[in-house]
Chain A
Amino acid sequence: MNRPPVDEAAALRRLSRELQARGLRLDRRAWLRLSVAGGASALLAGCNVTDTDGLQQVLRRISRFNDGAQAALLRPGLRAPEYSAAQLTKPFRFNAFYSEASVPEVDEASWRLEVGGRVQHADAWTLPQLRALPVVTEITRLICIEGWSAVGQWTGVPLSHFLRRIGADLSARYVAFRCVDGYYTSIDMESAMHPQTLLAHGFAGADRLPDEFGFPLRLRIPIKLGFKNPKHLVGIAVTNEFSSGYWEDLHGYNWFGGL
Chain B
Amino acid sequence: MSTPGNDRPPRWVRATHWIHAASFFTLLASGWQIYAADPFWVPAFPDWATLGGSLPGALQWHFAAMWLFVANGLVAVTTLVASGRLRRLYLSVSWAGFQADVARFVRHPFDHGDGGRNAVQKLAYLGVLVVLALEVASGLSLWKPVQFQALSALLGGYEMTRRLHFAGMATLACFVVGHVALALASPQLLLPMLGLRRKAREETR
By a beta-carbon cutoff of 8 Å, the part of chain A in contact with chain B is 19, 22-27, 29-30, 33-34, 37, 40, 44-46, 48-51, 58-60, 62-63, 66, 70, 73-75, 78, 80-81, 141, 143-149, 222-223, 247, 251-254, 258-259
Contacts and interface: CB of A to CB of B under 8 A. Distances in A.
B90 interface: no
B162 A147 contact: yes
Given A48-B53, A80-B149, A24 B191 contact: yes
Q: Which of B29, B49, B196 is the most central at the interface, judged by chain A CB atoms within 10 Å of its CB?
A: B196
- The dominant DSSP class at the B interface is helix
B198 A78 contact: no
Contacts of A25: 199
Nearest to A81: B149
Contact of A146 (B37, B60, B147, B159): B37
Interface in B26-81: 26, 29, 34-35, 37-38, 47-57, 59-61, 63-64, 67
B201 interface: yes
A149 B139 CA distance: 16
Given A73-B147, A258-B144, A33 B56 contact: no
A78 B61 CA distance: 29
Interface of B: 22, 25-26, 29, 34-35, 37-38, 47-57, 59-61, 63-64, 67, 144-147, 149, 153, 158-159, 162, 187, 191, 194-196, 198-201
Contacts, number: 115
Contact of B51 (A44, A148, A254, A259): A44
A148 B26 contact: no
A259 B144 contact: yes
Given A46-B49, A147-B35, A254-B63, A26 B196 contact: yes
Contacts of A33: 194-196
A105 B201 CA distance: 81
Given A78-B146, A146-B38, A222-B146, A50 B53 contact: yes
Contacts of B50: 46
Contacts of A48: 52-53, 57
Contacts of B195: 29-30, 33
A259 B195 CA distance: 42
